[in-house]
Amino acid sequence: MIKSKAAVAWGPGQPLSIEEVDVMPPKAGEVLVRVIASGVCHTDAFTLSGDDPEGNWPAILGHEGGGIVEQVGEGVTSVQVGDHVIPLYTPECGECKFCTSGKTNLCQKIRETQGKGLMPDGTTRFYKDGEPIYHYMGCSTFSEYTVLPEISLAKVNKSAPLEEVCLLGCGVTTGMGAVLNTAKVQKGDTVAIFGLGGIGLSAIIGAAMAGAGRILAIDINEKKFELAKQLGATDCINPKNYDKPIQEVIVELTDGGVDYSFECIGNVDVMRSALECCHKGWGESVIIGVAGAGQEISTRPFQLVTGRVWRGTAFGGVKGRSELPGIVEDYLAGKFKLSDFITHTMPLDDINEAFDLMHEGESIRSVIHF
Ligand code: NAD
Ligand code: AHE
Ligand code: ZN
Ligand code: ZN
């Protein structure tokens, strides 16, 4: 057992509390990781708010990390002490029905226990004063040390700075992947991206890489527009400046609607707008945002009858173990930048500030340095 400094979420709606927790050694097939850096994603805030039906308390949140293997459990062969790794909330076992389908990245090997905040054997590795603390999304990167199943680790090039590539553990991979893997945007396509946080801005990078002809970037916070333009947005739109539904505005601006739209907020009303701004006959809308328990999407079925497609994506459709190392190589080769996204860095002690900055619309990503 080792001691670890961690930010503990004791219950929904409460600030995180910095504690010294006990971390149990990795069991068979598990790995102890020393976390070097972790981004703070809106999904952490979503779960902390109490809106996540899968919230377990107390828990150690965080799922956008980068770290170094400290110790391996029995039978672990794919990583060794000293390897640089990115934790995966979407693991890749390579052998379940989902992994072998060739149709999805949603490995289900450990999904049930992961959703309950437990390791695959049904127990936790975190304790405080002898009481268990739950894991989160199989990652719990808001802790100096964390334990993950081997199948939940992508081994990456050691020359990549973990303080930056941690963002590939969720936000940037999700946004880029949604555009490049899920929608498969093609050269010349018109796309609309709703919500310009870490996810939406990464979707802009993906759209620019795909050679999209027009990239409409939509947000109610105009402070996001400068970076959006820098990354390739051709039109920045604030829905508050119009007195009609934003889907009507976009349909008019784009001669009948966009080829692809992406909802990167988690707002079910915006999800409807994102679908309805798609072009009749072929436009596709991809839901990335996560909406709270009890919320539902709606539209007139006629929208689908007339050829629009509604779909969703998790982790940008990326298979973490086999594909994330290559995305890190692309980053090292200069194909996209991560530093633009890191508006704030702070020690774990100040992690609540990262949540405040997100809620105030001041940050793109805060990265916690351990
Ligand atoms: P963020 O808070 O950094 O950004 C959200 C942006 O949406 C902000 O710029 C905000 O101003 C804007 N916004 C809010 N309400 C709006 C409205 N009504 N109209 C237009 N813009 C509006 O969040 P993020 O970290 O980029 O995450 C975005 C969403 O994606 C969250 O719901 C998160 O949970 C989800 N997410 C999903 C996946 C996945 O795999 N599907 C992965 C990561 C994040
Ligand atoms: N627990 C929530 C759903 C949360 C959710 O959709 N998570 C995304 C990743 S968000 C990353 O920032 C995801 O990967 N979903 C697929 C999965 O299997 O969780 C709920 O509503 O229950
Ligand atoms: Zn995330
Ligand atoms: Zn699998």
Between the alpha carbon of residue 230 and those of residues 217, 234, 268, the distances in Å are 12, 9, 28
Pocket flag, ligand 2, residue 290 (CB < 6 Å):
yes
Q: Is 99 a catalytic residue?
A: yes
In percent, the amount of the chain with pLDDT more than 90 equals 100
The dotted CATH code for 174-313 is 3.40.50.720
Name the pairing type of β-strands 131-133 and 284-287: unpaired
Average pLDDT, the chain: 98
Tokens 């809620």 label which residue? 359
- Number of neighbouring beta carbons within 10 Å of residue 120: 19
Ligand closest to 96 (CA) is 4
6-25 residue pLDDT tens:
999 999 999 999 999 999 99
Q: What is the DSSP letter of 82?
A: T
- The ipTM value here is 0.99
Omega before 239 within 30 of 0, i.e. cis: no
Q: At what angle do helices 246-253 and 268-276 cross, to 10 degrees?
A: 30
| Catalytic member of 170, 264, 277, 278 | 170
The separation between the first and the last C-alpha atoms of the chain, rounded to the nearest angstrom, is 20
Mapped onto helix, strand or coil, the DSSP state of residue 193 is strand
Query: pLDDT category, 256, cuts 50, 70, 90?
Result: very high
174-313 matches 2-169+338-369 in CATH topology: no
Query: Residue 262's beta-bridge partner residues?
Result: 193, 286
Phi, psi of 32 (to 5 degrees): -90, 125
Q: Is 144 a catalytic residue?
A: no
Dist CA 183 CA 163 (whole Å) = 29
What pLDDT was estimated at residue 350? Answer: 98
Query: pLDDT category, 250, cuts 50, 70, 90?
Result: very high
Dist CA 314 CA 138 (whole Å) = 15
The dotted CATH code for 2-169+338-369 is 3.90.180.10
155-165 residue pLDDT tens:
999 999 999 99
Q: Is 170 a catalytic residue?
A: yes
Give the tokens for residue 116.
């309950």
C-alpha 151 – ligand 4 centre gap (Å): 9
Give the tokens for residue 137.
């999304």
Pocket flag, ligand 2, residue 41 (CB < 6 Å):
yes
Phi, psi of 278 (to 5 degrees): -80, 150
Phi, psi of 134 (to 5 degrees): -75, 150
Ligand closest to 63 (CA) is 3
| Catalytic member of 19, 30, 42, 141 | 42
Residue ranges of domains in the chain: 2-169+338-369, 174-313
Dist CA 44 CA 25 (whole Å) = 25
What pLDDT was estimated at residue 26? Answer: 98
173-213 residue pLDDT tens:
999 999 999 999 999 999 999 999 999 999 999 999 999 99
pTM for this prediction:
0.98
What pLDDT was estimated at residue 342? Answer: 98
For atom 7 of ligand 1, which residue has the closest CA? Answer: 195
C-alpha 33 – ligand 4 centre gap (Å): 21
Ligand closest to 316 (CA) is 1
Query: Within 13 Å, how many C-alpha atoms sit on residue 142's CB side?
Result: 32
Nearest-atom number in ligand 1 for the CA of 314 is 40
Pocket flag, ligand 2, residue 53 (CB < 6 Å):
yes
317-341 residue pLDDT tens:
999 999 999 999 999 999 999 999 9
